Amino acid sequence: MNLTTILVSKVKGRLYSLSFISLLISMSSITSCTYKNEQDLYPINDCNTVNVSYKNFIAPIILDSCSNCHYDATMANGNYISLETYDEVSAQVKNLQLEVAMTAPPGSISAMPRSGGPLSQCNVQRILAWIKDGGPNN
Ligand code: HEC
């Protein structure tokens, strides 16, 4: 082995390790680019948002998750809005507050329900779909 061979093999070794490192970097950037959370990878396909019914869906979910704060009987000091009747809910669709309540970041003051467990992703999607339909009394 003369000096030139040693130098060449050193340079080659460097090149190999360099290309190995850049291969690692590109691999990790590929995986980080394709990384998605569970929901992006598996969209809620069985969440039916077609023709959501006020009577069969919206009213029951409000009764379940919102009535302890938003029914007439619970508006103890009159500070709460009521969501007991269609007209009351409809008013909150028209002034966009229901949409705000459904899309506000969880934990923020506008996010509803204000306390207790949040609505499921699918229930939120269905409420938003119903709002998009114009909030019909169906
Ligand atoms: C723990 C009590 C509580 C629960 C449960 C709750 N809210 Fe509220 N909500 C409030 C309070 C307090 C306010 C602010 C005062 C008001 O306007 O009634 C509010 C306000 C609102 C408003 C009006 C927007 C605003 O900021 O004034 C909408 C629309 C609303 N809530 C929808 C809902 C819906 C839909 C649910 C059920 C998914 C729900 N809320 C559950 C306490 C609650």
pLDDT in tens, the chain (138 residues): 555 555 555 555 555 555 554 544 455 555 555 555 555 555 556 899 999 999 999 999 999 999 988 998 777 556 689 999 999 999 999 999 999 999 999 889 999 999 888 999 999 999 999 999 999 999
CA of 102 to the centre of ligand 1 (A): 10
CA-75 nearest atom, ligand 1:
18
Rounded Cα distance, 138 and 123, in Å:
17
Residue 124 near residue 41, CB atoms below 8 Å: no
CA-102 nearest atom, ligand 1:
35
Contacts 24+ apart (CB under 8 A), 60-65: 61/119, 61/123, 61/127, 62/89, 65/113, 65/116, 65/119
Q: Looking at residue 46, what is its pLDDT?
A: 84
CA of 8 to the centre of ligand 1 (A): 73
Q: Looking at residue 13, what is its pLDDT?
A: 54
Q: Is residue 67 in contact with ligand 1, taking CB distance under 6 Å?
A: no
Rounded Cα distance, 93 and 10, in Å:
71
Tokens at residue 51, please?
């023709």
Q: Looking at residue 24, what is its pLDDT?
A: 47
CA of 70 to the centre of ligand 1 (A): 7
Q: Looking at residue 68, what is its pLDDT?
A: 87
Q: Looking at residue 87, what is its pLDDT?
A: 97
> Nearest-CA neighbor of 82 among 13, 129, 91?
91
Ligand 1 pocket test: which of 112, 119, 131 has the largest number of ligand atoms within 8 Å of its C-beta?
A: 112
